[in-house]
Amino acid sequence: MDIEPETDPIIDLIPAMVWSATAGGMLDFANQHFLDFIGAPLEEISGERFYGIFHPDDTSHLASEWHKIMASKNAREVEGRLRRADGQYRWCTLRQKPRLDAEGNVVRWYGVVLDIEDRKQAENALKETKTALAASEENLSLIINSLPVLVWSARPDGSADFVNQSWLDYAGRPADQILEWGFLDLYHPDDIPGMVDIWKRDLEHSDQTVLKGRIRGADGNYRWFYFSGRKLVDANGVVRWFGCNIDIEDLQSAENALRESEAALRESEHKLSLIINTIPAMAWSCTSDGRLEYFNRNLIDYVGLPFEEIVGFGFYRMFHPDDVEPMRMAWDDIVASKISRPVDARIRRADGEYRWFNLRQCPLLDSDGNVVRWYGVVVDIEDRKRAEESLRQSQSDLAHVTRMTAAGELAVSIAHEVNQPLMAIVTNAGTCLRWLQPGHTDIDQARLAAERIVKDGHRAGDIITSIRAMAQKSPARMEQTDLKSALRDVLDLLREELRHREIEIDLDLPERSLEVFGDRTQLQQVVLNLVMNSAEAMAASPRERRIGIRCAGDEQKILSVSVSDTGPGVSPDELDRVFEAFYSTKGDGIGMGLSICRSIVEAHGGRIWASAVENGGGGLFTFTLPMAEGAVVYDR
């Protein structure tokens, strides 16, 4: 007599999820292990409700498979995800078997559900590992074939069993013509005996090999290669050699050239020594750290000092006492930077006279860029120094003439500027006298009039002082000065001239002073020239006449002054030429104003330039000056 599964307590003791279903596939029993796993009673999953315990993505597939199994009456293992009591889905395999009657009809279905989540994860991990391994092997193959060197591997007897794509591309041959011992056909005949001997020796007695030889490329030309290989033994004890051949043709050529150049250098040094000792010039050489080690006969004769007194760092005693420290600082900087630059200093002649010399040097460098030795000459520039001083004096004289010319051109305006405070003085003096007359005496009003007389007197005096400073012919006085104040003085001087020309001034100045180190008169001349150039450029302009002046300092302690106008501007082709001496864009100009401006600005450590303004926006001139130490940078 058959016992129904649900009546047999042994079923609940089986450590597996056991179930049974009707011939129509309706779940009618699940053992306790099954129910504990899904966390639900039988009535919630019986019949067709058991599909609810499967993962939504698997339900359709499992239902289809279950119907196929029932139709075929053939048991088959099916995999799917079941929801556990904690809500987690786990992979399980569903196995079933039909119970048939005598006619072969299904009476009942029995089955088990086995948790295969761990196996599934292991299978997935294995698949990922295999995929990663395949990708790694592919990447390795790609890397080896992409390396810009000839990669190879060889058997223990030295025959090749692999060459990469770079090998094939270089040789221009298929792999079967290079593998085994075919690679020897590509080696230079003169190199084969020595290379084979080294290769066989290392195969027997070493774990690595290093050699050099020439290989013929697809173009038929031989190039030098560096061969490096190493023996490796895998876990199974199989021995293989792996290595690469690196193209060193350019390096080999460089080494040959270096050897040739070294030989030529030695010959050149020999010839140079002969030349230095015979040329009519004062030549010398120093060690890499700047110590004098050699000077030719001309230098010895000129300074009149014995060799032992000036060798090493004793050469500083040749210089003027005032030039020793600047010379020491300059030479230390040259030696440290390895960059040559000329240095001017005075050297005492044997008779005690000092003359200006220009010391020029050049380093001899080795292949690594290190200084081997310094070579140099000492050139007498006394006459050039005097000529430069004469030129500076001439420029100063010319600048003075330019200032006087400008003062002459502005005479009417200057007279008007002076006349204004003088007329005010006369008016206030008359007022003062009236308030002092008997019967009209008013001491307070008379005092106010007198104070106005004093104020106007000072104003007239300031104008005269400014004119006198610009007219004086005196050497440059480099001192700290407020450029903003100097600029305002120039504009005060030009006020009447600009009003007469109907020109408006747009002034943009910082609130604080702008201290620079320089000659106040010369800097005023620069501003005067630029403003008057702008005024003359707008003489025939039909547009509104306006000059913009802007001063600003930046965080780098650089002061910039720009002067712009609404005139025709400067042609782009003339931007660089307008500062050349005797070059002028005006028909009656002598072409010295801007040249003098550039000389003054550069002498003050700055620079000046003209800019093209788009759409005919007028002219723009800008110059910069270093601010005095301790000056406050403030830009509105």
How does 88-104 read in b/e, with b if 16+ C-beta sit within 10 Å?
A: ebbbbebebebeeeeee
- Asked if the model's pLDDT at residue 413 lies above 50, the reply is no
The predicted model gives 496-522 an average pLDDT of 85
pLDDT of residue 327: 87
- Asked if the model's pLDDT at residue 159 lies above 90, the reply is yes
- Asked if the model's pLDDT at residue 522 lies above 60, the reply is yes
Distance, in Å, from the CA atom of 432 to the CA atom of 205, rounded to the nearest integer, reads 122
**What are the CB-based long-range contacts (under 8 Å, 24+) for 539-548?**
539/501, 541/566, 541/567, 541/568, 544/504, 545/501, 545/502, 545/503, 545/504, 546/503, 546/504, 546/505, 546/506, 547/498, 547/503, 547/504, 547/505, 547/506, 548/505, 548/506, 548/508
Distance, in Å, from the CA atom of 467 to the CA atom of 477, rounded to the nearest integer, reads 17
In 187-324, which ranges are E strands? 208-216, 222-233, 239-247, 282-287, 292-295
Q: Indicate the DSSP class of residue 538.
A: T
Q: 170-215 pLDDT, tens per residue?
A: 999 999 999 999 999 999 999 999 999 999 999 999 999 999 999 9
- Pairing between strand 89-100 and 106-115? antiparallel
Q: Which amino acid is at 213?
A: G
Distance, in Å, from the CA atom of 526 to the CA atom of 362, rounded to the nearest integer, reads 39
Q: Residue 473 corresponds to which tokens in the numbers above? A: 């012919």
pLDDT of residue 3: 41
> For a pLDDT cut of 70, what percent of the chain falls above it?
83
How does 238-260 read in b/e, with b if 16+ C-beta sit within 10 Å?
A: eeebebbbebeeeebeeeeeeee
Indicate the SS3 state at residue 482: strand
CA torsion sign, 38 to 43 to 44 to 46? positive
Strand partners, 501: none
Lowest mean pLDDT among 290-304, 392-406, 497-511: 392-406
Distance, in Å, from the CA atom of 539 to the CA atom of 587, rounded to the nearest integer, reads 13
Distance, in Å, from the CA atom of 93 to the CA atom of 340, rounded to the nearest integer, reads 86
Q: 92-127 pLDDT, tens per residue?
A: 999 999 999 989 899 999 999 988 888 888 888 888
Contacting residues for 44 by C-beta, under 8 A, at least 6 apart: none
Q: 552-586 pLDDT, tens per residue?
A: 887 778 899 999 888 888 877 777 778 876 666 66
Q: Containing H/E element for 459? A: helix 443-471
pLDDT of residue 134: 73
The conformational region for residue 476 under phi > 0 = left, psi -120 to 50 = alpha, else beta, is beta
pLDDT of residue 499: 82
Average pLDDT, the chain: 81
Q: Residue 583 corresponds to which tokens in the numbers above? A: 């070059």
More confident: 420 or 519 = 519
Contact assessment for residue 515 and residue 480, using Cβ atoms and an 8 Å cutoff = yes
Confidence of residue 389 (pLDDT cuts 50, 70, 90): low
Lowest mean pLDDT among 65-69, 428-432, 534-538, 607-611: 428-432
**271-285, 296-310, 498-512 — which one is most confidently predicted on average?**
498-512
Contacting residues for 390 by C-beta, under 8 A, at least 6 apart: none
Q: Containing H/E element for 42? A: helix 42-45
pLDDT of residue 568: 82
Contact assessment for residue 20 and residue 109, using Cβ atoms and an 8 Å cutoff = yes
Contacting residues for 80 by C-beta, under 8 A, at least 6 apart: 54, 55, 58, 61, 62, 91, 92, 94
pLDDT of residue 191: 93
String of DSSP letters for 334-393? HHHHT----EEEEEE-TTS-EEEEEEEEEEEE-TTS-EEEEEEEEEE-HHHHHHHHHHHH
Distance, in Å, from the CA atom of 299 to the CA atom of 281, rounded to the nearest integer, reads 8
- What string of H, E and C letters represents the secondary structure of 570-620? CCHHHCCCCCCCCCCCCCCCCCCHHHHHHHHHHHCCCEEEEEECHHHCCEE
Q: Residue 267 corresponds to which tokens in the numbers above? A: 């010959």
pLDDT of residue 472: 55
- Give CA 195 to chain center in angstroms: 47
